[in-house]
Structure 1
Amino acid sequence: MFNEIKKSIQWGEETLTLETGKVARQADGSVIATYGETSVMANVTFAKEQREGQDFFPLTVHYNEKYYAAGKIPGGFFKREARPTEKETLTSRLIDRPIRPLFVDGFKNEVLGICTVLSHDLVNDPDVVAMIAASAALTLSGAPFMGPIAGCRVGFEDGDYVLNPTVDDMQDLRNNPDQRLDLVVAGTKDAVMMVESEAYELSEEEMLGAVTFAHEQIQPVIDLIIDMAEEAANEPFDYQPPDYSGLYEAVKAAGEDQMRAAYAITDKQDRVAAVAAAKEAIKATLSEDQLEDSNLGTALKKLESGILRGDVVKNGRRIDGRATDEIRPIVAETGILPRTHGSALFTRGETQGLVVTTLGTGDDEQIIDALHGNFRSNFLLHYNFPPYSVGEVGRFGFTGRREIGHGKLAWRALQAVLPAATDFPYTVRVVSEITESNGSSSMASVCGGSLSMMDAGVPLKSAVAGVAMGLVLEDDGSYAVLSDILGDEDHLGDMDFKVAGTENGITSLQMDIKVAGITP
């Protein structure tokens, strides 16, 4: 009845097993990954036709932790799992980020990945197991996915890198000075796709060494997925990338000069208006069939990207006239709100954050109900990104995945410099209100958060600052590395690399690659 296939390897201190063919057989790809006694089931389905008018890639990843996995019953009146927890949201993003760039260019069919934690041994964190399971399920599904990928967690203890440290080891780096790093890396056979870390003031050499170590350690997992795919993979989906070269040439001929002039405007609002006007002018010259072509948005983006990338790589000229290594003007103010415990207004170019710190008692600590037990947190950081910060009208009041992810990144950057609870027995809540945004708002939250906490009298070990870096990589191998990127440089570039730290070392790092990866 079942055509079950199972593959296993010894990986670090535990055995990693991948299983398929027995559960969820109607999904395009289904894999149960087990590491130790932590098991995650990943199921992937994808639409066989592109939705009419679809001009973006609708990939959705959901990571769900079931309380039964740890022998627990949910609290509350309804006694069932409710809205996603912060951990579930962050892990969903962690899985999404390295797989999204690896779908064939132009593929816009809807893809859904659901990762469900079935068993948790309270030792091995299910997030990395879920990433491996999702990659394996995608590889088996037949979708046009240029994987597989694999991921691992790296710790740093007594000068040595540790593969997949336990949940307890990673629980609270601030109170465990022997364990100085919590790093998650995802990559393909040849390149790194994603890095996410929380660190205790590590040097650049130590961080780079950790990424290299991680990429080496994921190789046997990638080989395991490939081995399983050779026996169990579906036939590749017959997808032919759309040929929109004629449409692109028409778009380019109609508006390249006007679009280039628009991208020469340094002020963001004026530039946005000029780019919108250029697009309307281009559309006015196109035929009705061209206007209804679902690839019109892609053609316009290709034109914009070519202008920005060409100017940067060939001429070293950025949108706002800066050199590639130049930081925007910075203004920092503290103590601007009279009735708060601490406040700061941090402005870098057209990105601005109003960051406020509040001190509380132990009664104000956040109680977190996780699979591996209940614990309390005395440091909270909340990031808010209202629509007005980018001059738009939009939904307000709902905390989205992006806001949760950016807030956690800033939290990671600042936690390393907080005093121990025994020395400073207060709950600290930092709220970052992004009032203007043109790139790198999470790093503005880091800078403003450091200032705000010092204004509130929190005895930080050191000041923390952060910056977002970018990369433009051309097909011929030429490239440009950009410091303090703008929103457009993030959108049209190939890498978003955020790094924060003190004068002594790195405290947080996040890297997302939008091409097929970069070598470590």
Structure 2
Amino acid sequence: MVHQVKLEVGGRTLTLETGKVAKQADGAVMVSYNDTSVLVTAVSSNQIREGIDFFPLTVEYQEKMFAAGRIPGGFFKREGRPGAHEILTCRVIDRPIRPLFPEGYKYETQIIATVLSADRAGCPDVISLIGASAALEVSDIPFDGPVGAVRVGRIDGQLILNPSVDDLEACDIDLLVAARREAIVMVEGGASMVPEDEIIEALYFAHEAILPILDAQEELRAKAGKPKRPFVAPKTDEALLERIRQMAEPGLAEVYSHTDKRERYAALERFERQFMESLPQDLVGREEEVARALEKAKKQYVRQRIVATKKRIDGRGLTDVRPISIDLGFLPRTHGSALFTRGETQAVVVTTLGTASDEQRIDSLYGDVWKRFLLHYNFPPYCVGEARMLRSPGRREIGHGALAERALAKVLPPQEEFPYTIRVVSEITESNGSSSMATVCGGSLSLMDAGVPISAPVAGVAMGLIREGDEYLVLSDILGDEDHLGDMDFKVAGTAEGVTAVQMDIKIDGIPREVMQKALYQARENRLQILEEMRKAIPGPRGEMSRHAPRIEVIHINPDKIRDVIGPGGKVIRSIVQETGCKIDVEDDGSVWIASSDAHALEKAITIIEGITQSPEVGRIYRGTVRRVVDFGAFVEILPGTDGLLHISQLADKRVRNVTDVVKEGDNIPVKVLEVDRQGKIRLSLKEALRELGETESSGA
């Protein structure tokens, strides 16, 4: 039987429907919003996956080009591996739903969201997240939902729900927010240097809008939900946990006396090995239970130690930022580089400047999109002291790169002022937490080192949280262990003026509004400290670019002259490139982009192109080359590719019997343009040019 629930969200109808499509899945919901429809399915295996200590959840999001009436590009003309946007949407769906499965649930589970119809106002990523929660709600899969989502934008100070693709271009806030009834659980988005209190206002505006979406999912579950399959979470033996905690506490105290990560990890490895090897006889055979209890004891010890002492794992106070060091321009052949080190996290960040032809073309649902700013984040295994196979960037790397790209994009100059394609690459060379925020800081520094005139430097910091009872402790610049053992990961990037990017994930039921405010304002104080350290290294963008960076000049020609610059089969433009070594791109509007690291070659290319596209002016004198002599005169090239007729009667004041008595092929002579007729034929005069030049010389004398 088909069941539907409808509600109004942001002035448009959101429809949740189940029982019509994909009925063999454990749960399937078709979510429609405006003219956008997404099918979301949830399936979980009946066989437990042995030998793992994590929840095997896979989330896939795929945009079918037929949804927007398009045929995919490329040779095969079909959808292939997911693009960056699809991977980022997978992460957005995964992050808020993963913590809502029961602890110890080790059954292979897969969520697939497929965009089947798309318009520019349907927010497919938002409704895919809603659909994932709804599909789990109506399925028999154990799930402690629901969770809802909206996107919040702001135009001219007015907050709006689920802005269209076109509206987003005018928004100074763009936040995707997911929430349960109790609190916000995930945030992903950016802003144009917006103050913290306005970000908080947008977040809670979103939370209010999400509540009816949760009601709709519960209504759908009441109508069509299946009974949940039986699952008993592994019970914690409290007596065993307390015993292990007491046995482990002296050893954990020694382990966490080490403030250096490598020393601490080595001590922890020794302690865990010795602990398991020296178990009392009555615990032999219960190693798996003991290992789980030891992990919980370790987490409890660290959290309670921080709460009791207000000191962190590495000895810092709650609000302290790790020591920072900066080395600028240390890679001599790059266009801009920075080595940014914060504690035991380090990033080598490099900026490369390119031309318009280096822009990235993205084949999207809404047509071809061209990107002139790219940021790529790489996390090689050596940065955490591991040896494993190097692979192409994973979802985490793509997500971290997108967050840093969003943080920096707001301060870049417009293309009209800085006509370069910009690529920033961050190589994480050491990691102990907050490497994405190190990428933001290092990216800002390398852009300034490259001479990119950014409007303001950007810094980022990752905030954490520990809740024990009613006490909430907000931690600044968290370590990897504090991220793993804590209750929140809240990354905030921005300038001294305001926020440019945020990403938040909460692992507990929710946090009060005042705690979120405290985290944002504490992040601001830390950000200002980091910006001051960056200012000491470089107060602003360099006044000139690296000598290895291309110089770009943009000239504008009459669009009718484009074919003259290109030439038949590209012959003319190829000859200019070969002669000057410049890179040349010609746009349909007559813009010609010329790039070279050699200033002389750049000027030469400009001169050639201007010569080709210049139109002869009547009355003007040109120096031309005699290209061909005929009985009635000579053809003189006055501009590249432009010839005029010098009639025999215009060679001299006296009568000339033979043209060759006055000019020969190859001669360089002055000629005056007498006329350009309707057919574009040019009539020239040597005698008029000589007369005027003679008069000019006489008057000059």
1:516 aligns to 2:509 (yes or no): yes
Match of 1:238 among 230, 233, 237: 230
CA distance in 2, matches of 1:69, 1:378: 27
Alignment of 1:356-505 (within 5 A): 356-474=350-468, 476-505=469-498
Paired position in structure 2 for 1:220: 212
Deviation at 1:47, TM superposition (A): 2.5
Alignment of 1:142-161 (within 5 A): 142-161=140-159
CA distance in 1, matches of 2:505, 2:153: 20
Match of 1:263 among 256, 266, 270: 256
1:71-116 superposed Cα distances (whole Å, 9 cap, x missing partner):
1122222222111100110000000001111122332322211111
Aligned partner letter, 1:442: S
Paired position in structure 2 for 1:211: 203
- Contact 2:182/2:509 (CA < 8 Å) preserved in 1? no
Aligned partner letter, 2:371: S
Aligned partner letter, 2:356: G
Greater relative contact order structure (CA < 8 Å, 6+ sep): 1
Distance 1:278 1:82, change over 3 A: same
Question: Which structure 1 residue ranges, 5 or more long, are not aligned?
Answer: 171-175
Aligned partner letter, 2:462: A
CA distance in 2, matches of 1:309, 1:329: 23
CA distance in 2, matches of 1:486, 1:305: 14
> What secondary structure, in the 3-state scheme, does the structure 2 residue paired with 1:162 have?
strand
CA distance in 1, matches of 2:291, 2:161: 43
Alignment of 1:177-196 (within 5 A): 178-196=170-188
- Contact 1:381/1:431 (CA < 8 Å) preserved in 2? yes
- Contact 2:338/2:446 (CA < 8 Å) preserved in 1? yes
1:103 aligns to 2:97 (yes or no): no
> What secondary structure, in the 3-state scheme, does the structure 2 residue paired with 1:47 have?
strand
Paired position in structure 2 for 1:13: 11
1:136 aligns to 2:134 (yes or no): yes
Deviation at 1:519, TM superposition (A): 3.9
Aligned partner letter, 1:183: L
Paired position in structure 1 for 2:635: none
Deviating more after overlay: 313-322 vs 483-492: 313-322
> What secondary structure, in the 3-state scheme, does the structure 2 residue paired with 1:218 have?
helix
Alignment of 1:333-344 (within 5 A): 333-344=327-338
Aligned partner letter, 1:223: D
CA distance in 1, matches of 2:108, 2:244: 27
CA distance in 2, matches of 1:431, 1:321: 32
CA distance in 2, matches of 1:336, 1:397: 27
CA distance in 1, matches of 2:213, 2:291: 37
Paired position in structure 2 for 1:173: none
Paired position in structure 1 for 2:309: 315
1:142-177 superposed Cα distances (whole Å, 9 cap, x missing partner):
32211100000010111111100001222xxxxx5x
Paired position in structure 1 for 2:111: 113
CA distance in 2, matches of 1:468, 1:180: 22
1:248 aligns to 2:238 (yes or no): no
Aligned partner letter, 2:479: L
1:329-357 superposed Cα distances (whole Å, 9 cap, x missing partner):
00012111100000000000000000000
Aligned partner letter, 1:478: E
1:353 aligns to 2:351 (yes or no): no
> What secondary structure, in the 3-state scheme, does the structure 2 residue paired with 1:257 have?
helix
CA distance in 1, matches of 2:250, 2:106: 29
Aligned partner letter, 1:189: R
Aligned partner letter, 1:448: G
Match of 1:199 among 191, 196, 215: 191
> What secondary structure, in the 3-state scheme, does the structure 1 residue paired with 2:285 have?
helix
Deviating more after overlay: 417-426 vs 403-412: 417-426
CA distance in 2, matches of 1:309, 1:135: 31
Paired position in structure 2 for 1:86: 84
1:289 aligns to 2:285 (yes or no): yes
Deviation at 1:53, TM superposition (A): 2.6
- Contact 1:247/1:290 (CA < 8 Å) preserved in 2? no
Deviation at 1:236, TM superposition (A): 1.8
Deviation at 1:250, TM superposition (A): 5.0
- Contact 1:254/1:285 (CA < 8 Å) preserved in 2? no
- Contact 2:72/2:363 (CA < 8 Å) preserved in 1? no
> What secondary structure, in the 3-state scheme, does the structure 2 residue paired with 1:110 have?
strand
CA distance in 2, matches of 1:165, 1:297: 49
CA distance in 1, matches of 2:43, 2:291: 25
Deviation at 1:259, TM superposition (A): 2.1
Deviation at 1:318, TM superposition (A): 0.9
CA distance in 2, matches of 1:153, 1:297: 42
Deviation at 1:322, TM superposition (A): 0.5
Deviation at 1:23, TM superposition (A): 1.2
> What secondary structure, in the 3-state scheme, does the structure 2 residue paired with 1:337 have?
coil
Deviation at 1:253, TM superposition (A): 4.2
Deviation at 1:254, TM superposition (A): 3.9
Aligned partner letter, 1:494: D
> What secondary structure, in the 3-state scheme, does the structure 2 residue paired with 1:340 have?
coil
CA distance in 1, matches of 2:263, 2:130: 45
Aligned partner letter, 1:258: G
CA distance in 2, matches of 1:452, 1:61: 35
Deviating more after overlay: 277-286 vs 227-236: 277-286
Deviation at 1:54, TM superposition (A): 2.7
CA distance in 1, matches of 2:142, 2:435: 34
Match of 1:40 among 38, 41, 46: 38
- Contact 1:70/1:122 (CA < 8 Å) preserved in 2? no
- Contact 2:93/2:132 (CA < 8 Å) preserved in 1? yes
Paired position in structure 2 for 1:26: 24
Count how many residue pairs are aligned between Structure 1 and Structure 2. Answer: 509
Match of 2:75 among 74, 77, 100: 77
Deviation at 1:450, TM superposition (A): 0.3
- Contact 2:248/2:294 (CA < 8 Å) preserved in 1? no
Deviation at 1:518, TM superposition (A): 2.4
Aligned partner letter, 2:232: Q
CA distance in 2, matches of 1:508, 1:355: 19
- Contact 1:122/1:371 (CA < 8 Å) preserved in 2? no
1:506 aligns to 2:504 (yes or no): no
Deviation at 1:228, TM superposition (A): 0.5
